């Protein structure tokens, strides 16, 4: 028995023009929706993550408190639980899985929230990394519905540099002949391991390695950290799913839709939600400068960087306790506004 539910989306037409037939949105809820339906938090997942990882900070007594809030964690399309290359029946399976945007994700999540639960207002949307990108999209696409947003280590639009970082990740997977242009029957594990090694240098900071934080975390050596953590977390996944989410990431842009026609500043300006935008000071692919620029165009936003050497991973749900407390405090403060 899975520990999550599935919302049947039916046939959804994506921004690309493809129709994903019998599309599914896997989700999990925590806590109870109150009578006024005003205690809702939406907490989308990150790249390669599923609702399981988000659960770490949905804890009684912490900001995302299931005894107070009704917390919905929708799984991103492509993550292996919601419709993905790995679980979609032919003909849209594997390499033929269509490009899905964050816009497509948020439209699906909006249907879940409104059709399944009859919710009209969301107290807060928050998320880490690609979850932060989805958070920005919620704010821009449904400005009258979303009261607060707190994107952590993610941007409203994927920068050129971030795009290039992802080209490196993608090329590592696809250099493996066993990938077979996506038509593999067995995972291209050499490519997935290479992907893990490429990722390892990007996701935490230079100082994280300089101070050998991985030893404090219990890894026995640098190589052990690379194999156990970085290769390990990638070989458990599906190559096409990773590539599908990567496509979503590379194409992240809150203005790439008919509401804003590519006018990025207009889309940022339309976000009415009270916002704390939270980069990490040492994040190498979502650097604070990109968020600072975004905050400058948002009417109700504050920039609040995490001062940490954990780089991008500083924002991971509960991963580094001091950073997690910093995130938790901000969640609490924003919810009280």
Q: Shortest Cβ distance from residue 273 to its own copies (Å)?
A: 25
284 touches its own copies by CB under 8 A: yes
Identified binder of its own copies from the candidate list 43, 208, 249, 326, rule CB under 8 A: 208
Cβ closer to its own copies: 176 or 241? 176
Tell me, residue by residue from 146 to 165, as one string, x for binding to its own copies by CB under 8 A and - for no binding: -------------xxx-xxx
Cβ closer to its own copies: 60 or 212? 212
Cβ closer to its own copies: 151 or 191? 191
Active-site residue, selected from the candidate residues 84, 312, 328, 331:
312
How far is the C-alpha of 82 from the C-alpha of 18, rounded, in Å? 17
Residue 283 among the catalytic residues: yes
* Cα pseudo-dihedral 77, 80, 81, 85, rounded to 10: 60
Stretch that binds its own copies, among 38-46, 145-153, 208-216, 300-308 (CB under 8 A): 208-216
Contact 48, 79 (CB under 8 A): yes
Cβ closer to its own copies: 119 or 198? 198
Q: Shortest Cβ distance from residue 268 to its own copies (Å)?
A: 16
233 touches its own copies by CB under 8 A: no
Instruction: Cis check for the bond before 91: say yes or no (omega within 30 of 0).
Output: yes
The pairing of beta strand 70-74 with beta strand 124-128: unpaired
Spatial strand order of the sheet with 274-277 comes to 5-13, 19-30, 70-74, 40-42, 124-128, 148-152, 274-277, 301-303
Three-class secondary structure of residue 234 per DSSP: helix
Residue 160 among the catalytic residues: no
Q: At which residue do the structure tokens 């640098």 appear?
A: 222
How far is the C-alpha of 165 from the C-alpha of 66, rounded, in Å? 36
Cβ closer to its own copies: 210 or 336? 210
Active-site residue, selected from the candidate residues 82, 83, 84, 129:
129
Window 164-203: residues binding its own copies (CB under 8 A) = 164-165, 167-168, 170-178, 190-191, 193-194, 197-202
297 touches its own copies by CB under 8 A: no
Contact 70, 28 (CB under 8 A): no
Stretch that binds its own copies, among 41-49, 56-64, 85-93, 284-292 (CB under 8 A): 284-292
Chain centroid offset of residue 334 CA = 20
Cβ closer to its own copies: 13 or 222? 222
Q: Shortest Cβ distance from residue 50 to its own copies (Å)?
A: 25
Q: Shortest Cβ distance from residue 229 to its own copies (Å)?
A: 12
Find the radius of gyration of the CA atoms of the chain: 19
Give CB contacts under 8 A, 24+ apart, made by 205-209.
Answer: 205/282, 205/283, 205/284, 205/309, 205/310, 205/311, 206/282, 207/282, 207/309, 208/282, 208/309, 208/310, 208/311
Identified binder of its own copies from the candidate list 124, 125, 141, 226, rule CB under 8 A: 226
Residue 129 among the catalytic residues: yes
130 touches its own copies by CB under 8 A: no
Identified binder of its own copies from the candidate list 52, 92, 117, 209, rule CB under 8 A: 209
H runs (alpha helix) in the chain: 51-54, 102-111, 130-141, 160-174, 189-203, 206-210, 213-216, 222-224, 232-235, 239-250, 264-269, 288-295, 321-336
Residue 140 C-beta-side C-alpha neighbours within 13 Å? 33
64 touches its own copies by CB under 8 A: no
Question: What is the set of active-site residues?
Answer: 129, 283, 312
Footprint on this chain of its own copies (rule: CB under 8 A): 159-161, 163-165, 167-168, 170-178, 190-191, 193-194, 197-202, 205-210, 212, 222, 226, 284-285, 287, 289-290
């Amino acid at each position: 028995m899975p520990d999550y539910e599935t919302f049947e989306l039916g046939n959804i037409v994506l921004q690309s023009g493809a129709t994903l037939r019998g599309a599914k949105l896997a989700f999990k809820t925590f806590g109870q929706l109150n009578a006024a339906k005003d205690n809702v938090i939406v907490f989308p997942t990150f790249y390669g993550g599923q609702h399981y990882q988000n659960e770490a900070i949905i804890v009684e007594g912490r900001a995302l408190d299931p005894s107070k809030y009704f917390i919905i964690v929708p799984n991103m399309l492509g993550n292996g639980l919601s419709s993905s290359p790995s679980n979609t029946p032919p003909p849209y399976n594997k390499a033929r899985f269509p490009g899905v945007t964050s816009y497509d994700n948020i439209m699906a999540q909006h249907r879940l929230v409104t059709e399944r639960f009859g919710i009209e207002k969301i107290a807060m949307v928050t998320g880490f990394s690609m979850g932060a990108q989805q958070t920005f999209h919620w704010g821009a696409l449904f400005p009258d519905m979303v009261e607060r947003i707190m994107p952590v280590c993610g941007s409203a639009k994927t920068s050129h540099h971030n795009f290039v970082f992802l080209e490196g990740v993608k090329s590592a997977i696809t250099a493996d002949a066993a990938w077979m242009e996506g038509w593999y029957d067995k995972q291209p594990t050499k490519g997935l391991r290479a992907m893990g090694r490429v990722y390892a240098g990007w996701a935490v900071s230079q100082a994280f390695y300089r101070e050998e934080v991985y030893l404090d975390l219990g890894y026995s050596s640098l190589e052990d950290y690379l194999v156990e953590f970085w290769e390990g977390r990638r070989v458990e996944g599906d190559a096409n799913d990773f590539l599908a989410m990567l496509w979503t990431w590379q194409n992240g842009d809150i203005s790439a839709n008919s509401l804003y026609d590519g006018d990025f500043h207009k889309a940022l300006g339309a976000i009415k939600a009270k916002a704390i935008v939270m980069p990490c000071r040492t994040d190498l692919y979502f650097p604070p400068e990109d968020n600072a620029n975004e905050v400058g165009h948002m009417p109700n936003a504050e920039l609040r960087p995490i001062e940490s050497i954990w780089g991008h991973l500083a924002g991971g749900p509960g991963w580094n306790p001091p950073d997690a407390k910093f995130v938790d405090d901000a969640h609490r403060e924003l919810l009280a506004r």
